[in-house]
Structure 1
Amino acid sequence: MELVLHIGVHRTGTTALQHLLQAHQALLARRRVSFWGPAILRLDGPQRYWRDCRAGAGDHMATARAADTRATFHQEIVYEQENDRRLVVVSEENFLGTIEANFAEHRLYPAARERLETYATLFPEPPARVYVAVRDYGDYWSSAQALQLRFRAGLPFDSDKLVAGSAARGWPEVLADVAAALPHSRIRTWRYTGRSGMVRGALADMIGRRLARWLPDAKIANVSLSVAALEELGRRRAAGEVSSDAELAAAVAELREEGGPKLRLFSDTQRAALSELFDKEWQLIAGGGIPRVEAFDPEAHFAVTP
């Protein structure tokens, strides 16, 4: 049995990929494929695993919880093997870190290596393949902030520090950390485009073309709201019109139709600098400049048609 780990990153079509796999689990099961997504990985045990493992030997409760979570995951992997699964796809973007931590430090996934080394112990064997998408820096930071504004107040930031932080620790450093944390896994990466073919193409590489061709094109989920829509959502929240998850989902679905410019955290000069930096670094990544990291284009090489 082969284990495939997809770790995002945030704002690169992860939710769309997860929704597509979740919605077609019956088809996947017939082809001996299982999907473990947020419904499993955001339960209390896995959610707390990083913190529990870092708590130290003196915290006996945390140590016991971590051991129990690890044992449960190992048992589930054995269960999948006994049920003749040929492939298990695990998808969780928070394994790398959180958007909040990125903004707090003005750089990308500062604890990525340590977190992945910890989460890797949930599995009895290393994943055969690990998938990570990357995105233009200006778009990533702006989209991440827009997502925060959808649920709560935005995160504090300094745009100059974000520009400097992206240069100091960007995608090459994150990918190098992934490779270091998972030395026995193939690391596969692609460049986010936002087009539906990107998601299905990436899945074709993960689960195989023959199976992926039966899946529909996936629309990108959690698309950023416009500035006007975010302002209206904030007004409704302040007025008490949006308080429950259901009310928030309904409001977002309605406001998504409202046009207008998207949130931008950077000046034109800063955006140009970030785009130039990203393009230069993508050339490095795509050219094999990060040891053991393989770049691919889902739309060009793995896009499939029914």
Structure 2
Amino acid sequence: MEWKGRRQSDNIEDRRGQSSGGGFGRNPFGRSGIQIPMGGRRGGGLSIGTIIFLAVIYFVLKAMGIDMLQVLEEGNVSGGSGYEQQVGSRPAGPANDEMTAFVRTVLAETETTWNGIFKQSGETYEEPKLVLFDGTTRSACGKASSATGPFYCPGDRKVYLDTAFFRQLSDQFNAAGDFAQAYVIAHEVGHHVQNLTGVLPEFNRQRQAMGEREANKMSVRVELQADCYAGIWAKSADKEGILSDGDLEEALNAAQQIGDDTLQKRSQGYVVPDAFNHGTSAQRMTWFKRGYDSGNVSACDTFSGNI
């Protein structure tokens, strides 16, 4: 990917190295992180059993050399999807390192693409902010952690990215390459486009009356459209001379490796279609390629007919 030397976006909010309070990550589309139920009496307050339980936990950790009162006071423990990470003592990431420059450049290219598309329709594209963080941070959609992966929050119109996910993408999901990383960013920006065009607000409205299975099916259509929008960006980037040999294959491989069926097979050995919420590998590859081949927003209608 020929990205060096190109314009870099100023719409970056770098929170790396900043400490954030405890809490659990929540996906902006309603798939929540793990919550710890606290038993209580009507009107608030903890039950006697809960207090005893917490006291036991405190002294067990104390015996192990972990002072939870000190940890909570410092605000250095952050949780997400069932595990904790200390981020308060991490050094701040370099403000101008190569990864930051890469993210800024890709974001700038998405701005160029969508500014042009919106302008053709007589509309103005409101550029999103992209938040770089490590470990955990706050968003209008709740606590974000590295465990939630990259996501877009409609509440504050920001993309959230812990760049450690790129190592996971390569090492765990076998989807290496800078264009695979760019595809992830472009996909999240695609959700921002959906927010501006009313797709996400309508989905969130309809979801209130949906059961889990129906909401999952609708979520798949939302995610596949974002893949298609990422493909449109890839087409635009190709016209700008940014793509190198093998880049398109990197993006398609990434789409394949993070399909619901592939992820389920890898993690549990079998597939549960009713639990799909992003689309199969074949669907994700198909819709990304459809966006790339057409370069046209009208080709990305995932809400009509079969997908």
- TM-score, shorter chain, exceeding 0.5: no
Higher helix residue share: 1
TM-score range, shorter chain: under 0.3
Q: TM-score, normalised by structure 2?
A: 0.27
Higher-Rg member (1/2): 2
Q: Which has the higher contact order (CA 8 A, sep 6+)?
A: 1
TM-score (norm 1): 0.27
